[in-house]
A = this chain, B = another copy of it.
C-alpha cells in the first residue's frame, strides 16, 4: 500500500490528524530509563503504546538518533520496526544532494531505516528530489515554509515577485507526477499556510510548530486541511513525549484538532 493510502486509512481509523514526533533527547527523558539496556527504545515503546490509537502517523527526527551515534541509529531501526504496520512513519531527515547522492540517501531512509515517507530539502532543485520520488510507494514531504524564526531569511524573501516558499510549492505541485509528494508548512505562519493549501490542492501538508514552538493550532487546522477535511498532518513532539501523561496529552490534542475540522 502506498504512503498516502496508509495515511488516509490511519487517519480514518484513529479519527486523527495528529502526528507524534519521536524526537528523543536522552537528557530530557526520565532518569529511570537511562538504567535500562536500551533507553531510547524503551522510552519510544511507551510513547507508541500509549498513543497508537490516537495518531495518524509518527515522525522520528533522525538528528536525535544520529546524535547518539551507532547506538542511536540502531534504536531508530528498532523503533520503526515496533510501530504498528497500519500507522505510517515519516522519517524527518531533510536530506538533499546531487542526483546520485540523493539516490544513496533515498536508499538509506527507505531501504535501511524502512520509513514510509521522508522530508527533503528543496534548495538544490528537482534532480535532488527526484530519486526520492522514484520510490513511488513512499511519501516525500518537501520543505516549503518552515516553523523556525529564521525561515524569513530566504523562504519569505520578498525582493522578488514570488517568495521562495511559493515557488517551492508551485514547483512541487508540478513535479508531483507520481502523486507521492507533500509539503512541510509550519503552524507558525497560518496565513501563508492558507496560500500553500490553495497551491497544493489535495497534496498532504506536514505541519510542525504547534506545541513547544507556539504555532496557531486553530488556523493551522482550518487552513491546512483539504476540502475533504483531511491531509493536514499536525505534528507535536516535545509537548506530547515529555508530558507526564503522553497518551492523555495526545488524545487531548487529537480531539482539539478535530474540533477545528468541523
Partner of A63, one of B104, B149, B162: B104
Cβ B157 vs Cβ A159 within 8 A: no
**Inter-subunit contact B155/A157 (CB<8 Å):** no
Residues on B with C-beta less than 8 A from A125 are: 148-155
- Of A79-87, A116-124, A196-204, A221-229, the one touching chain B: A116-124
Contacts of A73 in B (CB 8 A): 70, 73
Which residues of chain B have C-beta atoms less than 8 A from A126's C-beta? 150, 153
Task: For the complex, give the distance between the alpha carbons of A230 and B117 in Å.
Answer: 43
Identify the interface centre among A68, A105, A108, A157: most chain B CB within 10 Å of its CB: A108
CB-based nearest B residue for A61: B101
Q: Is the CB of B70 within 8 A of A70?
A: yes
A127 touches B108 (CB 8 A): no
Proximity string of chain A (98-130) to chain B, C-beta cutoff 8 Å, 1 when within and 0 when not? 110110110110001000000001111111100
Task: List the one stretch of A2-10, A163-171, A242-250 in contact with chain B.
Answer: A163-171
Give 11 pairs: A residue, B residue, CB < 8 Å, sorted on A. A23-B101, A67-B104, A67-B112, A69-B108, A96-B121, A98-B147, A121-B123, A123-B146, A125-B153, A128-B148, A160-B161
